[in-house]
A and B are shown apart, each in its own frame.
Chain A
């Protein structure tokens, strides 16, 4: 994933108006520390075209703030100078997301090449650079989109700030969101989500849009995110969390992804006695399609079927009780957009490997 954000994004629209830390030392000298706001979008910073205008605006705003703060500081200083010589500090705290719960599913381990962040619940791990040693990870639950895991680091001002947030969304709602955004990229919350994707586990999509807000001294840590992204690793097994399909009539079962459904079809169009179990999933537009079939045909009818042009029964995967169990793929013929082809095929391979007879 390309990270477009840079220091220039300070003026990005989403963060305009955010304050900084304004410090007044004991000699009433005023210092303003900028906050960095970084928001990665598919269209760049979005602030570049208004950069000059924003800078002018910023200068005016800062001047007004300086005057107000100077007057305030003068009054406060006049009032309290005699009582104390301690410096007065005014802070504008950057808006932080509401943290509902500390992420209980994480585990960390220090390694030579970094710190391993392992999330058992969502089934993935990351390797964080050594400089992230004192990070805090917290989970923000969000039912509309995905849950957000905020990674916070300590800034020079001794506050924890979110330097990286990643979204974990169940695959069903992720796929729906992608489908809803088809042809609407850039509208509302429709981003090119696949370009932000770090990876998928058997149940979740893990991605990062990037909308972090932190002080400038953490910029070097922020710049390490692309390195962290490369370390993304799925730790759940290929079929963990999948549902089980059981066919009692023919006595077999297999595991399949949560967004698949099975449908038994009796083929009455020929006299070969075939029975198909069709497995349906969704394409990029949210439309259901048949991704594969398990074709069950009496062994005695196979040869006759092969000699008939319209009888297509795929390849045999096993035999039992005079029936041949065969596999036929449905993810061909342009039904699945190219970008999903490889993933769908990997799913099918994983599914057929779980095929087994009951008893």
Chain B
């Protein structure tokens, strides 16, 4: 399954907005999906990603599913955010 992050906007900031995005995903994307399924998170089209937004979405998806892959992470803010999450939020991907 591929989750296109750009569906939630191009500028992804704040925890409330991140939680809301996670909620929407829970309702239509990840509902009933097996914990073992491969989840691909696609960052293409994202202009700004912040650690607060990503911590509410990426970290939670990584906690819920065993096989999570990140795609198109070239954007500098995406790179920096993922680095921060790995260091401070125990993100294992």
| Interface members, chain B 3-23 (any A CB < 8 Å) | 7-8, 16, 19-23
**Are A349 and B23 closer than 8 Å at their CB atoms?**
yes
Give the interface size class of chain A: 10 to 19
A352 and B26 contacting across the interface, CB-CB below 8 Å: yes
Q: Is B48 an interface residue (CB 8 A)?
A: no
Contacts of A317 in B (CB 8 A): 24, 27-28
Q: Which of A243-251, A259-267, A280-288, A325-333 contacts B (4 or more CB under 8 A)?
A: A325-333
Distance in angstroms from A245 CB to nearest chain B CB is 14
A333 to B20, CA, bound (A): 13
Q: For the complex, is B92 an interface residue (Cβ under 8 Å from A)?
A: no
Q: Tell me, rounded to whole Å, the shortest Cβ–Cβ distance linking A317 to chain B.
A: 4
Give the distance to chain B from A355, nearest Cβ to Cβ, in Å.
Answer: 5
Q: Is A195 an interface residue (CB 8 A)?
A: no
How far, in whole Å, are A332 and B20 apart by their CA atoms in the complex?
10
- Nearest CB on A from B14, distance (A): 9
Which residues of the other chain, A, contact B22 by a CB distance below 8 angstroms? 349
Closest to B31 in A: A353
Residues of B within 8 A of A345 (CB): 19
Residues of chain B within 8 A of A349, CB atoms compared: 22-23, 26
Report A-chain residues with C-beta under 8 Å of the C-beta of B24.
314-317, 326-327, 352
A348 at interface (Cβ–Cβ under 8 A)? yes
Q: Is the CB of A328 within 8 A of B31?
A: no
A129 CB → nearest B CB, Å: 33
Write the chain B residue with the least CB distance to A341. B19
> Whole-angstrom distance between the alpha carbons of A318 and B31 in the complex?
12
| Cβ-closest chain B residue relative to A318 | B28
Report whether B27 and A352 are in contact in the complex, using a CB–CB cutoff of 8 Å. yes
CA distance A353 to B26 in the complex (A): 6
User: Using Cβ atoms and an 8 Å threshold, which residues of chain A touch B20?
Assistant: 314-315, 327-329
B27: A residues at CB distance < 8 A: 317-318, 327, 352-353, 355
15 contacts between A and B (CB under 8 A): A314-B20, A315-B21, A315-B23, A316-B24, A317-B24, A317-B28, A327-B20, A327-B23, A329-B16, A329-B19, A329-B23, A349-B26, A352-B26, A353-B27, A353-B31
Closest 4 CB pairs of A and B: A315-B24, A352-B27, A317-B27, A332-B16
